[in-house]
Amino acid sequence: MTTANAIFALGTLISWVGWIMGATALFTIFKLTFDNVGLDSKRNMRSLMISGLIAGLSLLATAILPMHAATKDATGFRVPLVWFVMPYSAWLGVYCLFMGAYRSVQAFLGIDKDDRIERMKSCGIWLLVTVAFVWLYRGDPANKITILTGGLWLVPQTMFAIVFLAAAGMAAMVIAGRSTKTRGYAKTIVTQAALLAGSVVFGLPFAFLVITSFKEDKDMSSPNGIVWIPKVQQTVPYFDKKKPLYEGQFQGETVQGTPIETNPDGSIKIDIIKPMAIRGTTFVAAKAALKEVPRDIPIVSGKTNGIEFEGKVIEEMDDGHRRVAFLKPASLAGKEQVFAPAEVENVRHVGLRFQNYTDAIQFLPPETHSGLVYLKNTLILVVMSVLGTILSSSIVAYAFSRMRFPGREAMFAVLLSTMMLPAAVTLLPQFLIFRTLGWIDTLYPLWVPAFFASAFNVFLLRQFFKGIPMELEDAAKIDGCTYLKTFWSVMLPQIKPALAVIAVWTFMGAWNNFMGPLIYVNSPENMPLSYALQLFQGDRTNEPGLLMAFATLCIVPVLAVFFFAQRYFIEGVTLSGLGGR
């Protein structure tokens, strides 16, 4: 640990203290400005003065300290960052020292003598533990502390945006706190604004997913940060005489490819380009069975002899140069010229690259029929799991709640006790059972267990059944209904909300299930979407646009279910015991 790094670390910590205290002072100003009803003005003014003084001294100390370990070429405002690499004994010593200092401050601010004495005793204990950890740290010569220093550079626009958003957030918090003391539209507006802000924040990852699925590779990373408005390359169709593009039939599928060689009999050997899944495969076809199609070539712009132009790239040379056929202005139209890569710039406009979705589907194996096999398997799992869970759980719950038989309570206790078994404990026995049944590499192990009831779902539905008046069931018996008829026609309609909740959550679990297919499924024709997405990620990990496009396709049905079943999602949280029920 060098002296320069230690000074940098000290200055970083001081600067962060200054910013935090500055934010505290700003928050106090907002309180004094917008929420002064019933406020202790003297106390808040004193807090404002202390916070402002500490912030000013901290930032002044940061400016004086020689902490300039930064990149010379970077411009803007630098946020210093530091991290300590040290053994656990040093971390625990620092934590105990902090707690000791915290207790000493509490002792200084104690309300009476007894309280101060108790706080000082606690401070002494923490300091003794700190000494013990320091002794443990020094006992091993291999222990050392390394300080990692650096900084995060922010351009002025980004820094202004952060400060503005922080100030706006503080003002909103103060106004929201004030609105809770009032009634009427103010409280409603602030509440809705807070909910809207939360929705925006939590919706950013999904927005990033969707936007990235429409980006070109050039927009995946940028020195200016995340590109939120994608652009697409402007192209034109072009029939290339030197390297034509043919379309034909291969194994019953329409493919596109370029000719490799022409055989003496006139047939042509084609190297397949699309679909992506069989790219690189070659086949021979008669020229009459092939159709020449145009390829999309990019449009570029630049300047030649002082004249600005636009043109189409008709040839990409091996050395990186590009042959451009001029389109604009009219005086250059029809002429061609070779340019170095730095002499021309791609013409791009704001738009969405829908080709990511088609390319992502084309990368799927041909036997999956553009992913329809994955979708079919997933729908089978979802439908069978939902049906099995609802039917089996409701029947078992009805029996435990309404029917009397010897050992009912003991059996119900045993059923609930299965909830304490970790899934890893039953994983191997289940696998051995399914292997004995010959169900490996089939979908049966993934949906058949749903027809054997779930302990939690049985418990939930049992409580609902117990809440239905007995008079309703007695009336059904008087009318001649059997237990099964009473269950199906009378009792089951009474618990529709609980059944809807279980159906929605079972749907989510079956749709997102990855571990089950990973264990039991081997062949692509039996894979669901969750497993296929993982394999696609492994194959196309360097192409985030395609990966995000495939991920978006996988979650579209889940989004549809969410929007149509929002009420049941909320009820699921409530009925699960998290909503105070």
Report the candidate in 244, 235, 344 with the shortest Cα–Cα distance to residue 297: 235
Tell which wins on pLDDT, 35 or 327: 327
> Of 286, 321, 350, at which residue does a domain stop?
350
pLDDT digits (tens, 9 = 90+) for 151-169: 766 666 666 667 776 777 6
Which pairs with CB-CB distance under 8 Å and at least 24 residues apart come from 158-165?
Answer: 158/76, 158/225, 159/76, 159/77
Please indicate, yes or no, whether residues 23 and 166 belong to a single structural domain of this protein: yes
- For the question of whether the overall pTM of this predicted structure is more than 0.75, the answer is no
Please indicate, yes or no, whether residues 413 and 485 belong to a single structural domain of this protein: yes
Report the candidate in 445, 444, 452, 449 with the shortest Cα–Cα distance to residue 392: 452
Tell which wins on pLDDT, 307 or 227: 307
Most confident stretch, 37-46, 348-357, 572-581: 348-357
Residue with tokens 């989510």: 508
Residue 569 included in any domain: no
The domain in which residue 374 lies consists of 366-539
The confidence band for 299, taking pLDDT boundaries of 50, 70 and 90, is very high
Tell which wins on pLDDT, 148 or 416: 416
Q: What one-letter code names the amino acid at 285?
A: A
Report the mean per-residue pLDDT for the chain: 81
Phi-psi region of 280 (alpha: psi -120 to 50; beta: other; left: phi over 0): left
How many CB atoms neighbour CB 185 within 10 A?
A: 9
User: What's the CA gap between 559 and 210, in Å, rounded?
Assistant: 13
Mean pLDDT of 535-543: 80
How many CB atoms neighbour CB 533 within 10 A?
A: 20
Residue 386 included in any domain: yes
Using CA atoms, how far residue 365 sits from 443, 532, 544, in Å, is: 19, 10, 19
Residue 416 included in any domain: yes
Tell which wins on pLDDT, 181 or 534: 534
How many CB atoms neighbour CB 152 within 10 A?
A: 11
Please indicate, yes or no, whether residues 52 and 181 belong to a single structural domain of this protein: yes
How many CB atoms neighbour CB 286 within 10 A?
A: 12
> Of 322, 350, 378, at which residue does a domain stop?
350
> Of 324, 350, 376, at which residue does a domain stop?
350
Residue 248 included in any domain: yes
pLDDT at 137: 84
The confidence band for 144, taking pLDDT boundaries of 50, 70 and 90, is confident
pLDDT at 448: 92
Please indicate, yes or no, whether residues 277 and 413 belong to a single structural domain of this protein: no
Q: Is the pLDDT of residue 516 over 50?
A: yes
Pair 527, 374: CB distance under 8 Å: yes
pLDDT at 581: 38
Mean pLDDT of 439-452: 92
pLDDT at 69: 46
Please indicate, yes or no, whether residues 344 and 370 belong to a single structural domain of this protein: no
The confidence band for 316, taking pLDDT boundaries of 50, 70 and 90, is confident
Residue 176 included in any domain: yes
pLDDT digits (tens, 9 = 90+) for 181-203: 555 555 666 677 777 877 888 88
Please indicate, yes or no, whether residues 287 and 315 belong to a single structural domain of this protein: yes
Residue with tokens 């088609």: 358
Q: Is the pLDDT of residue 468 over 70?
A: yes
Please indicate, yes or no, whether residues 343 and 372 belong to a single structural domain of this protein: no
Residue 548 included in any domain: no
| 303: its two tokens | 């300047």
Please indicate, yes or no, whether residues 162 and 304 belong to a single structural domain of this protein: no
How many CB atoms neighbour CB 145 within 10 A?
A: 14
Please indicate, yes or no, whether residues 312 and 393 belong to a single structural domain of this protein: no
Please indicate, yes or no, whether residues 420 and 472 belong to a single structural domain of this protein: yes
Domain CATH code at residue 383: 1.10.3720.10
Please indicate, yes or no, whether residues 414 and 501 belong to a single structural domain of this protein: yes
Mean pLDDT of 272-279: 81
Q: What one-letter code names the amino acid at 76?
A: G
Mean pLDDT of 209-226: 82
Q: Is the pLDDT of residue 96 over 60?
A: yes
Q: Is the pLDDT of residue 519 over 80?
A: yes
Phi, psi of 91 (to 5 degrees): -60, -45
Number of domains in the chain: 3
Please indicate, yes or no, whether residues 510 and 426 belong to a single structural domain of this protein: yes
Mean pLDDT of 496-519: 87
